[in-house]
């Protein structure tokens, strides 16, 4: 069975990412980006002018189509200048996490065949150089998969794919010039790159770059800048839900949480604190954001990740097969899908099945809306039964003594694998009490068979549990 979007198809212009995003920027004096801490700001007109000048400076320095230029930075207004300038110069922008140690940065640069690294504090300038004509099918950006379950891969997204994804989101995310977006999630991640930076600027909003902070500081900054749309990952949502201090008056219309599944009790608690709907989004680096909650349809099931974007098709199959299933792996296809993994033809072939992108996510559909069950690679196989770690984690977090939890499968000679929990507690509790609590809530084969107390759960910058690190603790 093929699932299709209930939203009408959208036209996808033949344009590069900077041409499309900054199409109406040149004579717009509205603030495009402002830093919540330093006050650094750029109007749309200043952004467009600086992008052009920097792009010509890159050409003067010898940057050419086919080159890959690394942009390594936290969120700041100049990030947008550097990103769009690299693409306007005809090169590919490789976006890297600045907190990575030098060894890891060097490895990712090599993986993406980076030829130069842009210094945002010393941007090159030019004024007479001719910018190359860039084909919309060429690679605009390289983003890196999170590597939560395996080795990090360099994902190639063309200008056409990014522009298509932006147009696919516009019917759902009705961002306009009255909006103020909290740009706290990293622009080097697909969530921050597509949903916040590109979508926000395309819609004419003001983006407020916000550094990582505690929940109280974050809430204060939302209020100070009169933010209308905020973006969360589950750890930040949980911190907001647990925040006990005063919450200043908010101006929020909608809050989106993505990058990892969100516990519904946490969602409801965060919603009460923020005074605005909190909904879940879903996407993957290899295909941008593939689902959306429509602004005008907020009364629908808040535990879902919404409906398919326009122009996106999906199938649900039994994992490892082509057979349709009610619950199984989601396959997708659409114009936003990646061209492949840079320099890894084998991994690219494995990522597709008869032209469909394999998401690796276990999904079910109810009333036309998609629900993410868990990552297939993270499913625990106990005596032939499939056990979803996310389900057990949700149960554990309901215990009043538990602050956070993560569950992994541990090899077991008799049973194949057994569920083993890593738990962060806030009050005293024993492992036996927690195992009994879970056993009372789930089927017998899903019971947690071991509990280990830890100071924190390792997570990626986007909030995904790094289960591979936890599994290493048990080996």
What pTM was estimated for this model as a whole? 0.84
Class of domain 379-474 as given by CATH = alpha beta
The pLDDT value given to residue 320: 82
The pLDDT value given to residue 147: 47
- Residue located via tokens 């003001």: 206
The pLDDT value given to residue 148: 44
Alpha carbons 335 and 115: distance in angstroms, whole number: 28
Q: What is the pLDDT of residues 208-247, one digit of tens each?
A: 999 888 899 999 999 999 999 999 988 889 889 989 888 9
SS3 call for 417 = strand
Alpha carbons 327 and 317: distance in angstroms, whole number: 7
Tens-digit pLDDT profile for the chain (475 aa)?
A: 999 988 888 999 999 999 999 999 988 999 999 999 999 999 999 999 999 999 999 999 999 999 999 999 999 999 999 999 999 999 999 999 998 889 889 999 999 999 999 999 999 999 988 999 999 999 999 999 864 445 789 999 999 999 999 999 988 889 999 999 999 999 999 989 999 999 999 999 999 999 888 899 999 999 999 999 999 988 889 889 989 888 999 999 999 998 777 888 889 999 999 999 999 888 889 998 777 777 677 777 888 888 899 999 999 999 888 999 998 999 999 999 999 999 899 989 989 999 999 998 889 998 888 988 877 777 788 876 778 888 899 899 999 999 999 999 988 877 788 999 999 999 999 999 999 999 999 888 899 999 999 999 988 766 778 887 888 877 6
Class of domain 3-373 as given by CATH = alpha beta
Which residues touch 447 (CB under 8 Å, ≥6 apart)? 419, 435, 438, 439
The pLDDT value given to residue 194: 93
Domain ranges of the chain: 3-373, 379-474
């Amino acid at each position: 069975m093929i699932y299709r979007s209930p939203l009408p198809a959208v036209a996808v212009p033949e344009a590069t990412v900077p041409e499309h995003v900054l199409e109406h920027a040149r004579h717009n004096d509205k603030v495009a980006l402002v830093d919540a801490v330093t006050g650094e700001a750029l109007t749309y007109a200043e952004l467009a002018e600086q992008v052009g000048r920097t792009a010509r400076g890159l050409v003067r320095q010898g940057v050419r189509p086919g080159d890959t230029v690394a942009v390594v930075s936290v969120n700041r207004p100049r990030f947008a200048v550097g990103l769009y300038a690299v693409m306007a110069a005809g090169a590919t922008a490789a976006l890297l996490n600045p907190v990575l140690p030098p060894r890891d940065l060097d490895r990712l640069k090599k993986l993406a065949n980076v030829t130069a690294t842009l210094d945002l504090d010393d941007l090159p300038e030019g004024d007479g150089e001719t910018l190359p004509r860039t084909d919309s099918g060429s690679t605009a950006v390289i983003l890196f998969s999170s590597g939560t379950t395996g080795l990090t891969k360099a994902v190639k997204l063309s200008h056409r794919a990014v522009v298509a994804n932006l147009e696919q989101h516009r019917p759902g995310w009705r961002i306009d010039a009255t909006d103020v977006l909290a740009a706290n999630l990293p622009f080097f991640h697909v969530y921050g790159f597509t949903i916040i930076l590109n979508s926000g600027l395309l819609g004419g909003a003001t983006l407020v770059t916000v550094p990582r902070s505690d929940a109280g500081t974050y809430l204060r900054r939302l209020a100070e800048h009169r933010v209308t749309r905020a973006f969360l990952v589950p750890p930040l949502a949980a911190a907001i839900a647990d925040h006990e201090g005063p919450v200043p008056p908010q101006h929020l219309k909608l809050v989106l949480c993505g990058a990892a599944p969100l516990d519904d009790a946490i969602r409801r608690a965060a919603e009460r604190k923020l005074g605005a709907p909190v909904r879940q989004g879903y996407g993957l680096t290899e295909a941008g954001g593939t689902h959306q909650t429509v602004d005008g349809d907020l009364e629908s099931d808040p535990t879902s990740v919404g409906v398919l974007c326009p122009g996106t098709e999906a199938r649900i199959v039994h994992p490892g097969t082509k057979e349709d299933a009610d619950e199984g792996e989601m396959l997708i296809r659409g114009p936003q899908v990646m061209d492949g993994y840079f320099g890894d033809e084998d991994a690219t072939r494995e990522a597709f099945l008869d032209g469909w992108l394999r998401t690796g996510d276990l999904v079910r559909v109810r009333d036309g809306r998609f629900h993410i069950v868990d990552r297939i690679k993270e499913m625990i196989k106990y005596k032939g039964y499939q056990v979803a770690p996310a389900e057990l984690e949700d149960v554990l977090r309901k215990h009043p003594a538990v602050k956070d939890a993560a569950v992994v499968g541990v090899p077991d000679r008799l049973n194949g694998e057994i569920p083993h929990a890593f738990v962060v507690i806030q009050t005293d509790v024993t492992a036996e009490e927690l195992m009994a609590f879970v056993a009372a809530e789930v089927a017998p084969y899903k019971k947690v068979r071991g509990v280990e107390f830890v100071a924190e759960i390792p997570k990626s910058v986007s909030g995904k549990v790094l289960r591979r690190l936890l599994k290493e603790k048990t080996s």
